[in-house]
A = this chain, B = another copy of it.
Amino acid sequence: RKRVLITGGAGFVGSHLVDKLMLDGHEVIALDNYFTGRKKNVEHWIGHPNFEMVHHDVVNPYFVEVDQIYHLASPASPPHYMYNPVKTIKTNTLGTINMLGLAKRVKATVLLASTSEVYGDPEVHPQPESYWGHVNTIGPRSCYDEGKRVAESLMIAYNKQENVKIRIARIFNTFGPRMHMNDGRVVSNFIIQALQDNPITIYGNGTQTRSFQYVTDLVDGLIKLMNSNYSAPVNIGNPEEHTIGQFATIIRDLVPGSKSEIINLESQQDDPQQRRPDIRRAAEQISWKPQILMKDGLLKTIEYFRAEIDRNK
């Protein structure tokens, strides 16, 4: 039984991680500033003796005694991280420095939720961890991409210099229940559009690709990585790749009776054109690979959004 801190614990991924660690019997402290997270995501644990929810912003120092830190606090979808780019960078720099300072003081292991965005608009496909990436330092995504890149550099620096035990997960696109209705990500957008018979909006010609993993697969991978001995970056994602165009059709077909048409809007600046993880390292080092079929994951997610839409009526 471990004492575990989860920053961003009221968010989409964080709340699923809370669920799993609570079910496994650990003591969990979830920390969040509620920028995109919601108390509702963890409300079923409130009052449980092993659970604590802390309202705090990671850009400010935080003191607690824990064994493990899952550091997930950061806006994650393009509209959210571009909403306040200065704050996005502060969260990923100051926030990561504070969590590393905390880990150093209490000798905890810290896992960084890094991202496939460190590869940017990749020129190597699929992306292995050895690929250095292709990122525009001054583009609209740079607040997030460069913030996460330097967060990785901070992890390595505290590891080398202060012997902090580190884990770096490079997370690829993830979906599932508790994604935000309005965070503008493709899965939530397309499902909501299909459920409401609104046009399904493809940005650009739809030939750009992504690979989507279901959130419980990710949570499994994060926990396996944390409890391994491996301190270099590890891709966590599902290598099943689709174009965004295909994806629009797949989702519409999974929503019976949807009358949505599929339309093309303007493409987005610096939008990565392809993305698929090479996950051989995860298989070798932490014996992980995704288990959930995309279709099964999508059906659960569609049910979640259907209920959310009904609730909000």
Contacts and interface: CB of A to CB of B under 8 A. Distances in A.
Interface residues of A, number: 36
Interface string A132-153: 1111111000110011011011
A86 interface: yes
A130 to B, nearest CB: 9
A211 interface: no
A132 B143 contact: no
Interface in A140-199: 142-143, 146-147, 149-150, 152-154, 156-158, 160-162, 168
Given A85-B157, A94-B94, A160-B85, A138 B152 contact: yes
A107 interface: no
B135 A146 contact: no
A149 B153 CA distance: 12
A232 interface: yes
A90 B98 CA distance: 11
B149 A146 contact: yes
A93 interface: yes
Interface string A74-94: 000000000011101110011
A218 interface: no
A233 interface: yes
Nearest to A154: B89
A120 interface: yes
Interface in A289-305: none
Given A150-B150, A233-B138, A162 B86 contact: yes
A89 B153 contact: yes
A97 interface: yes
A120 to B, nearest CB: 7
A118 interface: yes
A113 to B, nearest CB: 15
A136 B132 contact: yes
Interface in A32-67: none
B153 A84 contact: no
Contacts of A97: 90, 93-94
A153 B138 CA distance: 5
B160 A93 contact: no
A158 to B, nearest CB: 6
B135 A132 contact: yes
Given A137-B152, A138-B232, A142-B152, 7 more contacts: A85-B157, A86-B157, A93-B150, A94-B94, A132-B134, A132-B135, A142-B156
10 contacts: A85-B157, A85-B160, A89-B154, A89-B157, A94-B94, A94-B97, A138-B156, A138-B168, A142-B157, A150-B150
